[in-house]
A and B are shown apart, each in its own frame.
Chain A
Amino acid sequence: MTDAAPQAVKLAKPRSQWADVWVQFKSHKGALVGLFVFLSLALFVSVGPLVWTKDPTFINPDAVTMIKTRNKPPSWEFPLGTDQLGRDMLARMMKGGQTSIAVGLTAMVISITLGTFIGVMAGYFKRLDNVLMRLTDLFLALPLLPLLLVMAMLFRAPLSKAFGPEGGTFLLIVVAIGLTSWMQAARVVRGEVLALKEREFVLAARSIGTPSRRMILRHVLPNVMSPIMVAATLGIANAIITESALSFLGLGFPPDFPTWGRLLFDGAEYIQQYPERVIWPGVAISLTVLSVNYIGDGLRDALDPRIRGR
């Protein structure tokens, strides 16, 4: 009898994909804690030195004072103690973390980009498959350390000349680690792509004439995101540890340039008397690796539409 006024349909705000991902990510406790820890570490190494302004390489020029401040336990003056030359461990941890985290992230980005590119190419284009996978096998068979030795010998001098000793070494190390650790990612991605290619939605997309470039970016890549994420998180850990090994062999950064790996190796000699000197960098490396792993785990779940929302 009355014209019912058309009820305004209240449409829920369309949910964006990334909001969904965040909701799912939030529900993963480990990932949240991991994110918190990683951000704290990042803040510690980036903002820390602005607050704690001691010079990490400062050695007291006065011999008597220097002898007195060697191997100090934690105190208000030196919150993490001092090393065998009286250098402040807290400042060294901050400075070392900058390098280690930067090396880890950059090398991971290089290796994942390369691994994903090669994996997708090999999986998607049948013609390239054989060539690229044999190349992967070849790289897997290469002994890593001699290869790095050769790279360091050939490129160290020109790179340090162009970018300074620290910049040159940084570039050399991240490229060297990136170039020698993409193979696992490539293999995993190729396997996933091969399986995806046979799925109906890919067939459907192809039937409407989607070009390869769009197919890869739109349909394939988003679906192989989860293995890539896992490989990436493992890659960061790997890169930090490889950098430590290189520093130990004298191929890494100059010795007065602290990194977590170098601090660990320097402290190893004193492990019996001053275990905290190994514990600080050891805990920092472990926390970084662990937190990044949890973040990766949470991201994988959040990015997978089949898990999301359950």
Chain B
Amino acid sequence: MKLKTALLGAACAFAFAPAAMAERGADGNVKVLYSQAVSIMNAYLSSGTKDVEVGSLVLEPLAGFDEVGTIFPRLVTEIPTLENGGISEDQTSVTWKLKEGILWSDGTPFTADDVVFTAAYCMDPAGGCAQLAKYEGVKTVEAVDPLTVKVTFTGPKPNPLVAFVGAESPIIQKAQFANCLGAAAPTCTDANFKPHGTGPFYVTDFKVNDSVELAANPNYRDPAKPNFATLSVKGGGDAASAARAVMETGEFDYAWNTQINPELQAQMQSGGKGQFVTGFGTLVERIEMNMTDPSPDLPEGERSTAMHPHPILSDVNVRKALSMAIDRSLLVEVGYGASGRPSCNLVPAPAIYASPNTDCMTQDMDGAKALLDAAGWVVGADGVRERDGKRFKLVYQTSVNPVRQDFQALIKGWWNELGVEVELKTVDAGVFFGGDPGSPDTFQKFYADVEMYANNFPGTDPEPYIVAYTCDKAPRPETQWQGENINRYCDPVFDELAAQLIQTKGEAERAAIVIRMNEMLTKDTYTIVPLVDRGRLSAHSNTLGGVVLNVWDSEMGNVENWFRVK
């Protein structure tokens, strides 16, 4: 019976599928709205997500990630592994086998030379390649034969599948970009705006910071795809107006990044014209605890550095109490709705790297108060805790953003209940994340006791993200206040684990180390207090089918499968 049902289902799927995907270009035009306008199609000259994603309609990498973060081949026959010999035994080289018969949109064949050229283009010392990190540790890229590319690294690389993988490092055509190496790269406007690609579409008209018109690539490798003959990308507006254009007025079929408040989500959804799609990646909204003293009484250059430990937050029980007082599910309900979920982890995904840690999920106000009492912080006359004449007062900063200000108000309320005096501070996002070493208000300088923001890591490998919490990565005057270890966390055991992680090969062993490191930062020390795992929220109209929200790669990664629901 079960088999019969399954067979019937399969038969149905086959019967209906061709109707939707009959031939290339059968479904006419599809309109996509990016609330940030596209300024260039070449991902190597822009790190903006919007540019990378719209560029991925035309330019493709050798391999991409699917919606669960698994790597899959695009322009190659298979993913190189240790088993199939694609990755050398000592992990110092990778060999890619290109698919045969792939053509560029101008009709010329795609070869290993294009891949070699792409690496040379980005790694040119005179050019400012935005995706240089993708090519870190690459020594040479050579064409063994027209369909084989060998990438050699300067040393063993535990995760060698970084270059040419994902929308950030697509392959560009050698013939078109040959004169655009190094300093000449930005001057090749025609190539940068209308690149020849192997992807499902090619650019027919490009208006900088406004709109892009694309048409189906006549030489695309799958003769039946894409289903749409033309695709228009329009830029501008904000998240709310983008969502409205899809969900209420129906002017567009797809809107990118429609992060709006939960109530508005529900209201728009009830209109019945479209739906929101959510995908959870690695973006975690968190509170960072400053382990050093940010007091303005300290001289400049010593403030917020390892020279002076924090007078209050150095005690782990205090940090734990502050975390216990927070009701994360309420934060999600107020701020994100469907596009968020409570998290206790710094690394919430991919699944094998995520710790099962859920100890922070329930709010425990009494437990938190008891912890503070035990730590010697007693409630004073005005309701604020004191110890040895020192008041428990925190400065809590974040960037200007309506959701973050709501979070600040809520968390301040809970902390006040604990007997903690909280001063709120907001900084313009441009300044806060600007990284200017001269400004006292950047998140790296951290001239506050606690701060809140969100961060994630690109791709599926958490290594660079988690090893950033070693002692030497703390922002300080000597590093021009640059560095990712915002908390100035410093533990030799952690540093040792980080060194071990860099040398470990097997995925399971690596995952075990990452989980351990994640727990050291979160539930063991409460250096980082994760709040909400934030998903990506986009909207598509009910007449657009085949949309799969992919947070590991470009959202447009499966655009060739989109179709018109009839």
Chain A residues within 8 Å of B, Cβ to Cβ: 57, 59, 61, 63, 66-67, 70-71, 84-85, 87, 149, 153, 157, 161, 165, 248-251, 254-256, 266, 269-270, 272-273
Which among B400, B410, B414, B440 is the interface contact of A153 at CB below 8 angstroms? B440
**A67, A70, A84, A270 pick with most chain B CB within 10 angstroms:** A84
Q: A161-B296, A254-B424, A272-B264 are in contact. List 12 more A-B contacts (CB 8 A).
A: A61-B365, A61-B413, A61-B414, A63-B329, A67-B330, A149-B428, A157-B440, A250-B399, A251-B428, A255-B426, A269-B264, A270-B264
**Interface membership of B491, Cβ < 8 A:** no
- Can you name the residue of chain A whose Cβ is closest to the Cβ of B404? A255
Do the beta carbons of B423 and A165 come within 8 Å of each other?
A: yes
- Say whether, besides A269-B402, A270-B263, A254 and B334 are in contact (CB < 8 Å): no
- Can you name the residue of chain B whose Cβ is closest to the Cβ of A57? B409
- Can you name the residue of chain A whose Cβ is closest to the Cβ of B244? A272
Do the beta carbons of B334 and A85 come within 8 Å of each other?
A: yes
**Interface membership of B91, Cβ < 8 A:** no
Do the beta carbons of B296 and A157 come within 8 Å of each other?
A: yes
Do the beta carbons of B263 and A71 come within 8 Å of each other?
A: yes
Q: Which residues of A contact B365 (CB under 8 A)?
A: 61
Q: Which residues of A contact B410 (CB under 8 A)?
A: 59, 85
- Say whether, besides A269-B402, A273-B263, A63 and B413 are in contact (CB < 8 Å): no
Within B316-358, the residues touching A (CB, 8 Å) are 327, 329-330, 333-334
Do the beta carbons of A250 and B406 come within 8 Å of each other?
A: no
- Say whether, besides A61-B417, A84-B406, A157-B296, A256 and B424 are in contact (CB < 8 Å): yes
Q: Which residues of A contact B405 (CB under 8 A)?
A: 255, 266
- Can you name the residue of chain B whose Cβ is closest to the Cβ of A61? B417
Q: Which residues of B contact A63 (CB under 8 A)?
A: 327, 329-330, 363
Q: How far is the CA of A153 from the CA of B427 in the complex (A)?
A: 10
Do the beta carbons of B424 and A59 come within 8 Å of each other?
A: no
- Say whether, besides A63-B327, A157-B440, A273-B267, A255 and B428 are in contact (CB < 8 Å): no
Chain B residues within 8 Å of A, Cβ to Cβ: 240, 261, 263-264, 267, 296, 327, 329-330, 333-334, 363, 365, 399-400, 402, 405-406, 408-410, 412-414, 417, 423-428, 431, 439-441
**A61, A70, A266 pick with most chain B CB within 10 angstroms:** A61
Q: Which residues of B contact A61 (CB under 8 A)?
A: 365, 413-414, 417
Q: Which residues of B contact A71 (CB under 8 A)?
A: 263
- The prevalent SS among residues of B at the interface is helix
- Say whether, besides A255-B405, A270-B261, A273-B267, A67 and B424 are in contact (CB < 8 Å): no
- Can you name the residue of chain A whose Cβ is closest to the Cβ of B400? A250
* Chain A: minimal CB distance from B286 (Å): 19
Q: How far is the CA of A272 from the CA of B271 in the complex (A)?
A: 14
**A59, A67, A250, A266 pick with most chain B CB within 10 angstroms:** A250
- Can you name the residue of chain A whose Cβ is closest to the Cβ of B426? A250
Q: Which residues of A contact B426 (CB under 8 A)?
A: 250, 254-255
**B365, B426, B431 pick with most chain A CB within 10 angstroms:** B426
Which among B240, B408, B417 is the interface contact of A255 at CB below 8 angstroms? B408
- Can you name the residue of chain B whose Cβ is closest to the Cβ of A254? B424
- Can you name the residue of chain A whose Cβ is closest to the Cβ of B447? A157
Q: Which residues of B contact A272 (CB under 8 A)?
A: 264, 267
Do the beta carbons of A85 and B409 come within 8 Å of each other?
A: yes
Q: Which residues of A contact B402 (CB under 8 A)?
A: 266, 269
* Chain A: minimal CB distance from B428 (Å): 5
* Chain B: minimal CB distance from A213 (Å): 44
Which among B333, B425, B428 is the interface contact of A67 at CB below 8 angstroms? B333
* Chain B: minimal CB distance from A167 (Å): 13
Q: Which residues of A contact B413 (CB under 8 A)?
A: 59, 61
| Cβ-closest 4 pairs across A and B | A250-B400, A250-B426, A59-B413, A255-B405
Q: Which residues of B contact A270 (CB under 8 A)?
A: 261, 263-264
Q: Which residues of B contact A256 (CB under 8 A)?
A: 408-409, 412, 424
Q: Which residues of B contact A57 (CB under 8 A)?
A: 409
Which among A153, A165, A251, A254 is the interface contact of B439 at CB below 8 angstroms? A153
Q: List 27 A-B contacts (CB under 8 A).
A: A57-B409, A61-B414, A61-B417, A67-B330, A71-B263, A85-B406, A85-B410, A87-B409, A149-B431, A153-B441, A248-B400, A249-B400, A250-B399, A250-B426, A250-B427, A250-B428, A251-B428, A254-B423, A254-B425, A254-B426, A255-B408, A256-B412, A266-B405, A269-B264, A270-B263, A272-B264, A273-B264
* Chain A: minimal CB distance from B268 (Å): 9
* Chain B: minimal CB distance from A289 (Å): 25
* Chain B: minimal CB distance from A59 (Å): 4
* Chain B: minimal CB distance from A159 (Å): 11
Q: Which residues of B contact A87 (CB under 8 A)?
A: 409
* Chain A: minimal CB distance from B340 (Å): 15
Q: How far is the CA of A18 from the CA of B412 in the complex (A)?
A: 52
* Chain B: minimal CB distance from A251 (Å): 7
Q: How far is the CA of A157 from the CA of B397 in the complex (A)?
A: 14
- Say whether, besides A248-B400, A250-B426, A272-B267, A255 and B414 are in contact (CB < 8 Å): no
* Chain B: minimal CB distance from A148 (Å): 11
Q: Which residues of B contact A67 (CB under 8 A)?
A: 330, 333
* Chain A: minimal CB distance from B325 (Å): 10
* Chain A: minimal CB distance from B168 (Å): 31
* Chain B: minimal CB distance from A92 (Å): 11
Q: Which residues of B contact A269 (CB under 8 A)?
A: 240, 261, 264, 402
Q: Which residues of A contact B424 (CB under 8 A)?
A: 254-256
Q: Which residues of A contact B333 (CB under 8 A)?
A: 67
Q: Which residues of A contact B296 (CB under 8 A)?
A: 157, 161
Q: How far is the CA of A161 from the CA of B423 in the complex (A)?
A: 12
Q: Which residues of A contact B408 (CB under 8 A)?
A: 255-256
- Can you name the residue of chain A whose Cβ is closest to the Cβ of B412? A256
Q: Which residues of A contact B409 (CB under 8 A)?
A: 57, 59, 85, 87, 255-256
Q: How far is the CA of A87 from the CA of B424 in the complex (A)?
A: 17
Q: Which residues of A contact B440 (CB under 8 A)?
A: 153, 157
Q: How far is the CA of A153 from the CA of B414 in the complex (A)?
A: 30
- Can you name the residue of chain A whose Cβ is closest to the Cβ of B417? A61
Do the beta carbons of A84 and B334 come within 8 Å of each other?
A: yes
- Can you name the residue of chain B whose Cβ is closest to the Cβ of A249? B428
Q: Which residues of A contact B261 (CB under 8 A)?
A: 84, 269-270
* Chain A: minimal CB distance from B232 (Å): 27
Q: How far is the CA of A269 from the CA of B402 in the complex (A)?
A: 8
Q: Which residues of A contact B240 (CB under 8 A)?
A: 269
* Chain A: minimal CB distance from B543 (Å): 24
* Chain A: minimal CB distance from B59 (Å): 36
* Chain B: minimal CB distance from A147 (Å): 15
Q: How far is the CA of A294 from the CA of B69 in the complex (A)?
A: 65
* Chain A: minimal CB distance from B293 (Å): 15
* Chain A: minimal CB distance from B554 (Å): 29
Q: How far is the CA of A269 from the CA of B329 in the complex (A)?
A: 22
Q: Which residues of B contact A157 (CB under 8 A)?
A: 296, 440
Q: How far is the CA of A273 from the CA of B261 in the complex (A)?
A: 11
Q: How far is the CA of A70 from the CA of B240 in the complex (A)?
A: 21
* Chain A: minimal CB distance from B369 (Å): 13
Q: How far is the CA of A63 from the CA of B406 in the complex (A)?
A: 14
* Chain A: minimal CB distance from B384 (Å): 15
Q: How far is the CA of A32 from the CA of B329 in the complex (A)?
A: 53
Q: How far is the CA of A306 from the CA of B408 in the complex (A)?
A: 57
* Chain A: minimal CB distance from B242 (Å): 14
Q: Which residues of B contact A59 (CB under 8 A)?
A: 409-410, 413
- Can you name the residue of chain A whose Cβ is closest to the Cβ of B248? A272
- Can you name the residue of chain A whose Cβ is closest to the Cβ of B428? A250
Q: How far is the CA of A248 from the CA of B400 in the complex (A)?
A: 8
- Can you name the residue of chain A whose Cβ is closest to the Cβ of B240? A269
Q: Which residues of B contact A153 (CB under 8 A)?
A: 439-441
Q: How far is the CA of A229 from the CA of B467 in the complex (A)?
A: 64
